[in-house]
Structure formats: structure tokens, C-alpha cells
Chain A
Amino acid sequence: QVTLRESGPALVKPTQTLTLTCTFSGFSLSTSGMRVSWIRQPPGKALEWLARIDWDDDKFYSTSLKTRLTISKDTSKNQVVLTMTNMDPVDTATYYCARGTTVTNIDYWGQGTLVTVSS
């Protein structure tokens, strides 16, 4: 059974760095073809793709947020970490991590974690 769970602070101050951890089970990110993405959704708004890391350590980032994002994995811990620098109130959103088995198919999603950016 594949599960993913996001964890991190619920509240961050403007200009701070956000660190989110995705802890997963039911698959290994060292298996060929496996991928984990981060996606966010501001309250009442659409999904926004942020970043993806692949089994071979290839990394991809949203063009508009590339300078602020870093994605990494710890295969031994079954974790993927996303850091986002210089947080702003417009970054307030529910952040999801999700598994992909192909470039285009995201088949399992975490429940999401709401991050509020406020002083």
C-alpha cells in the first residue's frame, strides 16, 4: 500500500525558509521509474506544480520558483525534502507531495499540509 505524508511547520514568517518533508511507504525511490513531486494549492485556487525528483536523482523545478526551491531525497529514510526560501504571504497554500510512475502520471497523493505565511 502506497502512502505519502507531508510534514513541516504550519506557520512561517515572511523571508524565512520553509522546509517540508515527505515521508512515504509502499515503494522505493531507488526503483527505476519512481518519481516524487511537490504540488501546492493556495486556498480556493488551482493546483501549482513545484518540483520533482526522480529515482536517478534528476531534479526539475517550476520555472517561476526555480531560484527559491531545492528538492532532495534520502532513499534510506524514504523521504523527500523540499525547501523554499524567502517565503511570502502569497506562498500560503496546502503543499502536497505525490508519487509518479511516469513523467505524466501522478498516482498517489499525500493528504497535504497547510502552510501559512504571516508575521
Chain B
Amino acid sequence: QSVLTQPPSVSAAPGQKVTISCSGSSSNIGNHYVSWYQQLPGTAPKVLIYDNNKRPSGIPDRFSGSKSGTSVTLGITGLQTGDEAEYYCGTWDSSLSAGVFGGGTKLTVL
């Protein structure tokens, strides 16, 4: 049971937009920045979004992040088959004094 809650799966057609939610509490998302990670099959995770809505260099602006209260959302526009991956949100939890991740969301591009 993950501390952060994500939907197990989402799907959309190529070219469309999809959003992935991640909910937590005041001890984690509510008071800390959140990062989003993309994990392509058989590879290590890669950071897509950090500090809620910032993109590292090299990450296209098709990927965006937003935060509201104790929830964050990852948005992906112009879906491509190469976006099929597992997506994780992650942050720090002050009550646990530990890092926490969501359970992951599998994106299928139909």
C-alpha cells in the first residue's frame, strides 16, 4: 500500500492528452515539492517533472505538472507510442522522515 495514491492505469489514443493524478496528505504533497518519473519497460526511472511543475533540460513541453493542495497531476499532450511507460510520483514525507512514491500508473497509448 503506497503512501501516495495513483490510478493503476490510464489510456488514450495517439495525439490525445492524458492526465495522471497523485494524491497524498499534508505531511507529504501538501508541504513538499513533488517529482514525476517515467519508467520505460526494462529501464531505470527518469525524472520528467520536479518541484511540481519544472522540466529538466531535454524533457519536451508535452509533459507538464501541476499541484493543488495535497494532489498533483501530470499532463501529457500529443501522446506518442513511445510514451507508453509506468509513471510514478514521489516526494518527501515529514511525518515519516522518509521518501515516498505512488504505486505507479501504466500509460497505454492505444
Q: Which A residues fall within an 8 A CB radius of B?
A: 37, 39, 46-49, 52, 60-63, 96, 102-107, 109-112
Contact = CB atoms under 8 A, between A and B. Distances in A.
How many of chain B's residues touch chain A, expressed as a range? 20 to 34
A63 B44 contact: no
Contacts of B96: 63
Contact of A62 (B45, B46, B98, B104): B98
A102 B2 contact: no
B31 to A, nearest CB: 10
A96 B90 CA distance: 15
Closest 5 CB pairs of A and B: A49-B99, A105-B50, A109-B44, A104-B33, A47-B101
Interface of B: 2, 32-35, 37, 44-47, 50-51, 56, 88, 90-92, 96-104
B47 A107 contact: yes
Given A49-B100, A109-B44, A104 B32 contact: yes
B29 to A, nearest CB: 10
Candidate in B2, B47, B91 with the most chain A CB atoms within 10 angstroms: B47
A105 B44 contact: no
